[in-house]
């Protein structure tokens, strides 16, 4: 299988046994404009692909496959680029998105896939293992297992506000690792202050996404907002406590790790309020996250880490 993807996503596919070539399409950089698009069309034509599965769904990707000469073009019936498809797969909102993507290839006549069948996989390599080893080499090690915390999100209302308080509860049991982008470093500082700097390793902004997956894979569990680390944990099988506020797992993006728990403040008539999560609560109370208490999340951690 060959995959066309963005520069940001391409490194995640390194070492994947099902991927032959990763074709990077930098539409905002070196491939910007008609010339870049045409270069990619020529590459697709030269490869003589017979099938294209258009998970991204844009008009651009549909047109790319069509004028690239791909005879069979499969995508969702709700996609902006569906005009260009030869086969349209029903977008079933009740399914996990991993199953929706799986069904682009297998169709809807096949029985529903198990979580194990549809769970994505990532394959960190030697480079990622070495980066993680270098990061944790000088961290205190008293023999306690590591537990990852992912307090960040680009969407303001997806950020649970009590990670520091949870860290204080967890620090006697675990060495804590904070994962996320460099912009999450102030959150990591709050966690270290609450739990004690000797119990917290700040990995924010220090690893690639694939190396972050390697680090998460070494942890006993992860507590994460509805954000990228949730999906990295699913791909490496780390037990997951996923925190949902303005969004809900029914959108199709819940955890797929073999052991997982959803922590949410259920019963609010205003949930879900947005497909992503607005930067501030539309009603001003932020109850979906403010009222999700630390004890509830702590109990969920215990449940997913129990032998």
Give residue limits of the domains in the chain: 2-118, 126-305
The tokens for 216 are 């998460």
CA distance 188 to 177: 9
Summarize the confidence of residues 28-39 as an average pLDDT: 92
Kindly report, residue by residue over 133-152, the tens digit of the pLDDT: 999 987 878 889 999 999 99
pLDDT at residue 261, as a whole number: 97
Summarize the confidence of residues 244-272 as an average pLDDT: 94
Question: What is the pLDDT confidence band of residue 131, given thresholds at 50, 70 and 90?
Answer: very high
CATH class of 126-305: alpha beta
pTM for the full model? 0.92
DSSP code per residue over 10-57? GGGGTT-TT-SEEEE--TTTTT-HHHHHHHHHHHHHHHT-SEEEE-S-
Kindly report, residue by residue over 207-243, the tens digit of the pLDDT: 999 999 999 999 999 999 999 999 999 999 999 999 9
Kindly report, residue by residue over 281-290, the tens digit of the pLDDT: 999 999 999 9
pLDDT at residue 307, as a whole number: 61
Q: What percent of the chain has pLDDT over 70?
A: 99
| CATH 3.30.70.100 for domain 2-118 | no
Above 70 in pLDDT, residue 58? yes
Above 80 in pLDDT, residue 113? no
pLDDT at residue 220, as a whole number: 97
The helix or strand, by DSSP H or E, that contains position 200, with its residue range, turns out to be strand 200-202
CA distances from 217 to 60, 106, 123 (A): 35, 29, 11
**Same fold: 2-118 with 126-305:** yes
Above 70 in pLDDT, residue 89? yes
pLDDT at residue 92, as a whole number: 92
pLDDT at residue 69, as a whole number: 96
Summarize the confidence of residues 175-200 as an average pLDDT: 96
Kindly report, residue by residue over 149-164, the tens digit of the pLDDT: 999 999 999 999 999 9
């Amino acid at each position: 299988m060959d995959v066309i993807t963005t520069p940001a996503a391409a490194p995640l596919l390194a070492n994947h046994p099902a991927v032959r070539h990763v074709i990077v399409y930098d539409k905002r950089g070196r491939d910007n404009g008609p010339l870049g698009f045409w270069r990619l069309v020529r590459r697709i034509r030269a490869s003589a692909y017979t099938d294209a599965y258009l998970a991204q769904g844009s008009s651009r990707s549909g047109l790319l496959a069509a004028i690239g000469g791909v005879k069979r073009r499969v995508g969702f019936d709700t996609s902006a680029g569906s005009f260009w498809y030869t086969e349209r797969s029903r977008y079933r909102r009740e399914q996990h998105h991993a199953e929706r993507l799986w069904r682009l290839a297998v169709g809807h006549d096949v029985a529903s896939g198990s979580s194990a069948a549809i769970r994505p996989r990532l394959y960190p390599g030697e480079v990622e293992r070495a980066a993680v080893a270098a990061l944790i080499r000088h961290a205190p090690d008293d023999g306690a297992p590591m537990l990852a915390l992912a307090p960040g999100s680009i969407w303001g209302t997806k950020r649970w506000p009590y990670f520091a308080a949870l860290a204080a509860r967890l620090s006697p049991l675990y060495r804590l690792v904070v994962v996320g982008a460099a912009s999450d470093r102030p959150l990591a500082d709050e966690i270290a202050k609450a739990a004690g700097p000797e119990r917290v390793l700040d990995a924010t902004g220090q690893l690639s996404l694939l190396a972050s997956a390697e680090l998460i894979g070494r942890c006993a569990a992860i507590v994460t907002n509805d954000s990228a680390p949730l999906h990295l944990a699913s791909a490496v099988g780390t037990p997951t406590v996923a925190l949902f506020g303005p969004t809900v797992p029914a959108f199709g993006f819940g955890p797929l790790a073999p052991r997982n728990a959803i922590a949410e403040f259920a019963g609010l008539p205003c949930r879900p309020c947005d497909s992503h999560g607005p930067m501030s609560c539309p009603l001003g109370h932020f109850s979906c996250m403010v009222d999700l208490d630390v004890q509830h999340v702590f109990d969920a951690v215990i449940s997913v880490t129990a032998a």
